[in-house]
Amino acid sequence: MITYVYDGSFEGYLTTVFEIYNRKKNPDGIFTTSTYMPFLMEEKYEVSTNIERAQRVLAGIESKGSKDIAAKIYNVYLSEHPAMEMLLFQYIKLILQKGSAIEHDYRQPEILKVKEINKQIHREVHRMHAFVRFQKTTDNLYYATVTPDFNVLPLIGEHFEKRYSDQHFMIYDSKRNYGLYYDQQQTMMVECGAEQLERQSEFVAEEKVYEALWKNYFQSVNIIERKNVKLHLRHMPKRYWKHLTEKK
């Protein structure tokens, strides 16, 4: 049994791939320091993250595969899928051996799985584009809390920046305790202390007015004769409701 343990970062993961090739010892398991559980009779290798090595692996994937394939790999990493490390290792091995064309051979289980997870990630990204609801705070910040199924915040910044280039905004993932903050110049990842989160729950007076108008609008465009709750729930699963002004 050979297991590799890394720090949980993407760079750490790529370094792991480097070490596997370097040591010529295929893994039976890859874990992060927080998912790792010791086994009897195992050979454990602790990877120390190395940016330069990570970049070499990434460059290899991009040249043997493509930029698009590298992006897909990053998406799978963000999915926090429990078996994602081993899946990605098999996938990367395939790409490095056979080149980018193999990406379209959906008869291969790893290729299909990577595609499937990417589909889920795209759906979640899309849901964030749709379901973020900003509230205007007394600090003139447009603030939204989200709890996405996957760690998709790194994938949604550009979209919001393009739309709201003239307003300060923050999208805060309260499950993973960090947020995207845009200051009309650039978007950055930030962590918020309790005090700051408190400030971000004080809204301007007109906030209530527009929330009421939006709720009213939402009710008024519904066609009662066409009621279709099943469809409604399929498009807007209940777990998203807690952040949706119109469903609160």
Partner 1 sequence: MDRINQKLTVLANAAKYDVSCSSSGSKRKNQDKGLGNAEGMGICHSYTEDGRCVSLLKILLTNHCIFDCAYCISRRSNDIQRAAFTVQEVVDLTINFYRRNYIEGLFLSSGIFKNADYTMERLVRIAKDLREIHHFHGYIHLKAIPGASAELLTEAGKYADRLSVNIELPSEESLKRIAPEKNYEEIYTPMNFIREEKQRYTDERKSIKSTPLFVPAGQSTQLIIGASPENDVQILNLADSLYKEQQLKRVYYSAYIPIPTDSRMPNLALPPTLRENRIYQADWLLRFYKFSVHDIVNDLHPNLDYDIDPKLSYALRNRHVFPVNINTAEYEMILRVPGIGVKSAQMIVTSRRFGNVHFDHLKKMGIVTKRAQYFITCPGAPAASIDRHSSQVRQLIQSPELRKKNSQLILFA
- Tally the residues of the chain: 248
Q: By CB under 8 A, how many residues form the interface with partner 1? A: 53
Strand order of the β-sheet with 43-46 is 29-32, 2-6, 43-46
* 123 lies in the site for partner 1, by CB under 8 A: no
Applying CB under 8 A, the span of 21-29, 172-180, 192-200, 209-217 interacting with partner 1 comes to 209-217
The CA-based angle 149-156-111, given to 5 degrees, is: 65
Residue 234 engages partner 1 in binding (rule: CB under 8 A): yes
Query: What is the rounded CA–CA span in Å between residue 176 and residue 153?
Result: 10
Which residue in the set 26, 63, 138, 222 belongs to the binding site for partner 1 (CB under 8 A)?
A: 222
Provide the 8-state DSSP code for 176. T
Task: Using the minimum distance from each CB to partner 1, give the nearer residue, 34 or 220.
Answer: 220
Smallest distance from partner 1 to CB 100, Å: 12
Cβ closest to partner 1, residue 45 vs residue 164: 164
Is residue 88 a contact residue for partner 1 (CB under 8 A)?
no
Q: Tell me how far, at minimum, the Cβ of 133 lies from partner 1, in Å.
A: 6
User: With respect to partner 1, which residue has the nearer C-beta, 44 or 64?
Assistant: 64
**Rounded CA gap, 104 and 247, in Å?**
41
Q: Which of 92, 133, 141, 172 binds partner 1 (CB under 8 A)?
A: 133
Buried b (16+ CB within 10 A) or exposed e, 190-220: eebeeeeeeebeeeeeebeeebeeeeeeeee
d(CA 157, CA 180): 7
- Bin 59: left if φ > 0, else alpha if -120 < ψ < 50, else beta: alpha
Q: Which is nearer to partner 1, 72 or 133 (CB)?
A: 133
From 37-45, 60-68, 133-141, 190-198, span contacting partner 1 (CB under 8 A): 133-141
Distance CA 25, CA 22 (A): 8
> How many other C-beta atoms can be found within 10 angstroms of the C-beta atom of residue 173?
18
Residues in 40-59 at the binding interface with partner 1, rule: CB under 8 A: none
Looking at residues 148 to 207 of the shown chain, list those that interact with partner 1 (rule: CB under 8 A).
162-167, 184, 206
Task: Give the rounded distance of the alpha carbon of 185 from its chain centre.
Answer: 23
142 is a site residue for partner 1 (CB under 8 A): yes
Instruction: Determine if 24 is a binding residue for partner 1 (CB under 8 A).
Output: no
Host H or E run for residue 56: helix 51-64
Using CB under 8 A as the binding rule, whether residue 80 contacts partner 1 is answered as no
Using CB under 8 A as the criterion, which residues of the chain lie in contact with partner 1 when the complex forms?
102, 104-107, 109, 112, 126, 129-136, 142, 144, 162-167, 184, 206, 209-210, 212-214, 216-218, 220-232, 234-236, 244-246
